[in-house]
């Protein structure tokens, strides 16, 4: 990969109009060199302003930089140039979901499904995630109203709402993940699912199956680290053919599992894992 970066950089230096800025910028983005990737993408766009792949690259860089609206605008430009661009529709869905606009996010994903003939497993998984989260939020909203009415009738003051009250177990990590290419699962010490969902390529929740397979991971990791005398284990990162899977110990010998597409930078996956761990800790300490 380092040789590719060097070769592309040399070619771009020789020919500033070369399209090698596309793979170069994407590689730098995946390596977490966002400022340099942005500079490469912007210079490329100056010469190829009507290239949809250039705008798509800039959008993905913007997402990694936390500039969601800029990413949305770039993907909107991609659609203007290439109306059938499924990646742009998926990206716009991600941004709207992150912004709390789930209905519009579903619309973009539905359009992506139609453009792709319904055969995109990632889109199917995304729709399942969003619709599951939506049902959870509606259920949580009803529960909050019931609790408020009960307190009102009892004459006691309304309690200060806990930060995690709006999140039912299935959608506990939904607002953290956002990206339809990520999923998270919280397991107890027996591998039973406590919260979250694990969606496979067909959009099905296979959390119970995953939990059963991983039921002994925490014990094995603990024995290995003690045998090597390297302290307590903190995380395991596995890279499969289709995903990057990270695992970390949670309260009471539980396990948190976060999976993301292979295109997701490892740094971003680890940040998501850390945020999910904190959410799980708060949720467990609050008595679920």
**Can you give the pLDDT at residue 51?**
94
Per-residue confidence (pLDDT) for residue 136, from 0 to 100: 44
H helices of the chain, in order, are 2-14, 21-30, 34-47, 52-64, 68-81, 86-98, 102-115, 121-154, 174-177, 207-213, 217-228, 266-285
How many whole angstroms from its chain centre is CA 26? 18
Q: What pLDDT, on a 0 to 100 scale, did the predictor assign at position 243?
A: 80
* Per-residue pLDDT, 285: 84
Those residues of the chain that have pLDDT short of 50 are 135-167, 179
pLDDT at 157: 32
Put simply, whether the predicted model's pTM sits higher than 0.85 gets the answer: no
Which residue carries 């020919």 as its tokens? Answer: 15
User: How much is the pLDDT for 71?
Assistant: 92
pLDDT for res 122: 64
């Amino acid at each position: 990969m380092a040789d590719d970066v060097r070769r592309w950089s040399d070619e771009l230096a020789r020919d500033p109009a070369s399209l090698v800025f596309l793979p170069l910028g994407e590689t730098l983005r995946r390596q977490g060199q966002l400022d340099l990737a942005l500079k490469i993408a912007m210079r490329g766009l100056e010469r190829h302003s009507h290239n949809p792949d250039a705008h798509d690259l800039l959008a993905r860089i913007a997402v990694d930089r936390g500039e969601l609206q800029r990413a949305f605008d770039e993907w909107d430009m991609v659609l203007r140039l290439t109306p059938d661009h499924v990646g742009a529709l998926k990206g716009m869905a991600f941004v709207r979901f992150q912004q709390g606009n789930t209905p519009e996010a579903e619309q973009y994903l539905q359009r992506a499904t139609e453009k792709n003939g319904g055969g995109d497993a990632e889109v199917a998984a995304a729709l399942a995630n969003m619709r599951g989260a939506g049902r959870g939020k509606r259920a949580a909203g009803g529960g909050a109203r019931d609790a408020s009415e009960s307190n009102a009738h009892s004459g006691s003051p309304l309690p200060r709402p806990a930060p995690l009250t709006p999140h039912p177990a299935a959608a506990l990590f939904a607002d953290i993940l956002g990206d339809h290419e990520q999923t998270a699962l919280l397991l107890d010490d027996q591998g039973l699912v406590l919260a979250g969902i694990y969606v496979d390529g067909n959009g099905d929740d296979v959390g119970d199956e995953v939990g059963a397979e991983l039921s002994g991971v925490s014990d094995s990791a603990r024995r290995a680290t003690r045998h090597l005398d390297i302290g307590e284990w903190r995380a395991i990162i596995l890279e499969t053919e289709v995903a990057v899977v990270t695992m970390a110990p949670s309260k009471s010998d539980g396990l948190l599992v976060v999976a993301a597409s292979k295109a997701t930078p490892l740094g971003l996956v680890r940040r998501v894992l850390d945020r999910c761990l904190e959410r799980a800790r708060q949720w467990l300490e609050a008595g679920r």
